[in-house]
């Protein structure tokens, strides 16, 4: 056998570097995966309604329902048993309780407060996140108080503080201002602290865009047909802007936010990535109703496979830097993740 230097030279096939080697086997793919998804990453947004033993389908969101409080507890028990850490509650307020100021939001016995008390009594270890905004309670459908065609900021902030306080008193673990009023995080934080709720977390919808992807959500909470003026562009962010999102987040963190939410999700992965990498704080993504509806429409038409796209659509948020994901797929995704174990 020859031992000349010629036999030691490379004569093998091109190329030297083959990235597919690490992809060939399942065990290898799992070892080199850069991101992972688990039930611990999921928050389940749930719609609630008045009544007893009521489950109503949301037509524009196939597979999503509105629950009366008794059925809500049952549904959330399943989510809790699947390992989902928290749920986010959104009420459909009866029309006769709505007014221009959204005063029902400050009622300690309103629908969301009663639902919170019921959940904390039945499932004390399940996190409960309550939305802080006036749109489920106003006749205008806006997140704040409408005066002469304009949502006024400071008067709305006062109302939001009252809303957050009754939610904290009901047992909410996290109050989540989603209104995009200026200064509301500091005001809510100071209000909670002044009343002894120093451990109640404040999660800010810090970069919430004036998006067209919210339509099914507004149907679900009963505000879709009432929105005066047609849009929320005077307080929600312009989809064209990215640097502004960093300013919004920086201000809300300085004012006391414990975590921030970027909304919508998939169309704004660049925003999630910028916020997460810039601030290194808990950054959550909201896969909103329009995103869910698009995926389900394609699934129900046989154009996409739910086995493939649901978890993939969630993993992209982790890849972008999100620490948690609000998604209507939460229960379904948690079941699929269990099957993969």
Query: Residue 81's pLDDT is what?
Result: 98
Grade residue 11 by pLDDT with cuts at 50, 70 and 90. Answer: low
Is the model's pLDDT at 326 over the cut of 50? yes
Label residue 198 by pLDDT band (50, 70, 90): very high
What average pLDDT does the chain have?
A: 94
Mean per-residue pLDDT, 45-72:
97
The catalytic residue among 98, 232, 263, 318 is: 263
**Residue 173, strand partner residues:** none
Domain regions of the chain by residue span:
37-340
- State the catalytic residue, choosing from 98, 120, 162, 208: 208
Reported confidence tier of residue 113, pLDDT bands at 50, 70, 90: very high
User: In CATH, what number does 37-340 get?
Assistant: 3.20.20.70
Residue 308 known to be catalytic: no
The beta-strand segments (E) located in the chain are 42-48, 55-57, 65-67, 86-91, 127-132, 145-147, 150-152, 174-177, 201-208, 259-263, 283-287, 324-327
Task: Quote the pLDDT of residue 222.
Answer: 83
Distances in whole angstroms, Cα of residue 65 to Cα of each of 186, 266, 292: 34, 23, 13
- The answer, yes or no, to whether the previous bond of 316 is cis (omega within 30 of 0) is no
Query: Mean pLDDT across the stretch 2-27?
Result: 74
What global pTM score does this model have?
A: 0.93
Catalytic, 208? Answer yes
Q: How many CB atoms lie within 10 A of CB 323?
A: 15
pLDDT in tens, 255-285: 999 999 999 999 999 999 999 999 999 999 9
Q: Are 266 and 291 in contact (CB under 8 A)?
A: yes
The response to whether 248 counts as a known ligand-binding position is yes
Whole-number pLDDT of residue 1:
44
Residue 232: name the closest of 325, 155, 134, 164 by CA: 134
CA–CA gap between residue 199 and residue 172 (Å, rounded):
11
What is the share, in percent, of the chain residues with pLDDT greater than 90?
87
Neighbours of 257 (CB within 10 A): 25
At 2 the pLDDT is: 47
What percent of the chain stands above pLDDT 70? 96
Weakest mean pLDDT among 195-199, 210-214, 215-219, 319-323? 215-219
Query: pLDDT tens across 129-171, in order?
Result: 999 999 999 999 999 999 999 999 999 999 999 999 999 999 9
Within 13 Å of residue 311, how many CA atoms lie on the same side as its CB? 15
């Amino acid at each position: 056998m020859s031992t000349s230097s010629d036999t030691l030279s490379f004569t093998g096939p091109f190329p030297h570097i083959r990235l597919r080697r690490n992809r060939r086997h399942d065990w290898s793919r799992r070892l080199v995966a850069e991101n992972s998804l688990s039930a611990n990453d999921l928050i389940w947004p749930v719609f609630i309604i008045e009544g007893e033993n009521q489950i109503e389908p949301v037509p524009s969101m196939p597979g999503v329902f509105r629950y009366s409080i008794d059925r809500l507890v049952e549904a959330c028990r399943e989510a809790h048993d699947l390992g989902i850490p928290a749920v986010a509650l959104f009420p459909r307020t009866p029309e006769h309780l709505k007014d221009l100021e959204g005063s029902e939001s400050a009622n300690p016995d309103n629908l969301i407060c009663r639902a919170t008390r019921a959940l904390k009594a039945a499932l004390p270890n399940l996190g409960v996140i309550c939305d802080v905004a006036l749109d489920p309670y106003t006749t205008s459908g806006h997140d704040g108080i409408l005066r002469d065609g304009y949502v006024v900021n400071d008067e709305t902030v006062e109302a939001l503080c009252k809303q957050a306080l009754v939610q904290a008193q009901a047992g909410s673990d996290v109050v989540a201002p989603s209104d995009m009023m200026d200064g509301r995080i500091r005001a809510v934080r100071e209000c909670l602290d002044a009343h002894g709720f120093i451990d109640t977390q404040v999660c800010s919808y810090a970069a919430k865009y004036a998006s067209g992807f919210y339509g099914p959500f507004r149907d679900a909470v009963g505000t879709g047909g009432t929105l005066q003026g047609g849009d929320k562009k005077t307080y929600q962010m312009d989809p064209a802007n990215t640097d502004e999102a960093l300013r919004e987040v920086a201000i809300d963190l300085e004012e006391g936010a414990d975590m921030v939410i970027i909304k919508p999700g998939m169309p704004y992965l660049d925003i999630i990535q910028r916020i997460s990498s810039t601030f290194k704080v808990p950054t959550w993504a909201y896969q909103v109703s329009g995103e869910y509806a698009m995926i389900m429409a394609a699934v129900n038409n046989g154009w996409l496979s739910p086995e493939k796209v649901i978890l993939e659509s969630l993993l992209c948020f982790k890849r972008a830097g999100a620490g948690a994901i609000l998604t209507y797929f939460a229960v379904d995704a948690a079941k699929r993740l269990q099957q993969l174990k």
